[in-house]
Amino acid sequence: MSTLVIGGAGYIGAHVVRLLLDRGEDVVVVDDLSTGAADRIGEATLVELDVAGPGAQESLEKVMRERDVTAVIHFAAKKQVGESVARPTWYYLNNVGGLANVLAAMEASGVTRMIFSSSAAVYGMPPVELVTEDVDCRPINPYGETKLIGEWMMADCERAWGLRWAGLRYFNVAGSGWPDLGDPAVLNLVPMVLDRLERGDRPKIFGDDYPTPDGTCIRDYIHVLDLAHAHLAAANYLEGDGALIEHVFNVATGEGASVRQVIDTLGAVSGLDVTPDIEARRPGDPPRLVAAPDRINAVLGWKAEHRLEDIIRSAWEAWQAGPRRIG
């Protein structure tokens, strides 16, 4: 019996792989290593494969049968909003096509449990203080659309052949569970600030005239290790054959932090001068995106343990342990 972690060599996936290995589980990682790194997965078996590439369905089916896979955790996807706007069909091919191959292989080999990396991007710009899972999903970019379609695909497979699935809607993931598993991409606020500081530049704030207390955008930052634990909680939930009451879950803390607070915390933790440059607003940024985590607390029994300072401190430690930058 083994768990198949697709995209397990990436930033979040590698955290889940390490937790599974620590529990003594047999883990197979499928990853195309386009952004992941083989040295992040410990003694898990690596199968190098692009799930959206030619022949992927058959290769996945073979892995599932040979390794007696009982559950799939599917991280592998493209995840850059701007890129998704510029190259929508490529996002559909990768994210939707890749998932279709995974689901087809699961159906063919009789694997019925699936945990899927969804995103707060499915919501778009919900006009609420706290986003619950019942808010209308109106994604505003192809990336968010591919994640919402992914959820629909799994709901269809549940009806058709009994897939047992959970979609975890990640909010703003940052930090590291271990110094060697930091976020290698410089694409989000925390690594972007760290990158600027390392180059001797000032951090940038994209807009300080938003209708928020300090004028900068507010997000719900989640520690990547907490997020990894949410996957284990979801795996427990899917075990057995009891009815699944819910399928999609916000993974968040319920607390917002502003861009300025994040940068100031980084200054406090690192001792560096973090005086920012104020830039123009970045198109498409909602002023505030904070989630109600009540459903995941109640149904999966999961709660975030870490708050902003832990997140930033662990990101700083991992950054210093670098360099392993991509993007």
Where do contacts with ligand UFG occur on this chain (CB under 6 A)? Answer: 79, 81, 119-121, 143-144, 172, 188-189, 192-193, 204-206, 217, 219, 259, 282, 285
Q: Which is nearer to ligand UFG, 58 or 277 (CB)?
A: 277
Q: Smallest distance from the beta carbon of 11 to ligand UFG, in angstroms?
A: 11
Q: Which is nearer to ligand UFG, 64 or 77 (CB)?
A: 77
What does each C-alpha distance from 225 to 81, 193, 324 come to in angstroms?
23, 21, 19
Residue 325 burial (CB < 10 Å; 0-12/13-18/19+)? middle
Residue 104 burial (CB < 10 Å; 0-12/13-18/19+)? middle
Q: Which is nearer to ligand UFG, 57 or 172 (CB)?
A: 172
Annotated catalytic residue 123: no
Q: Which is nearer to ligand UFG, 105 or 259 (CB)?
A: 259
Nearest to 112 by CA among 167, 165, 56: 165
Q: Smallest distance from the beta carbon of 86 to ligand UFG, in angstroms?
A: 15
Helices (H), ranges, the chain = 11-22, 56-66, 81-86, 88-91, 97-109, 142-161, 189-198, 224-238, 259-270, 294-295, 308-321
**Locus of tokens 């997965």:** 41
Task: Spot the catalytic one: 123, 143, 210, 221.
Answer: 143
Q: Smallest distance from the beta carbon of 243 to ligand UFG, in angstroms?
A: 30
- List the beta bridge partners of residue 119: 170
Q: Smallest distance from the beta carbon of 70 to ligand UFG, in angstroms?
A: 29
Q: Which residues are catalytic?
A: 143
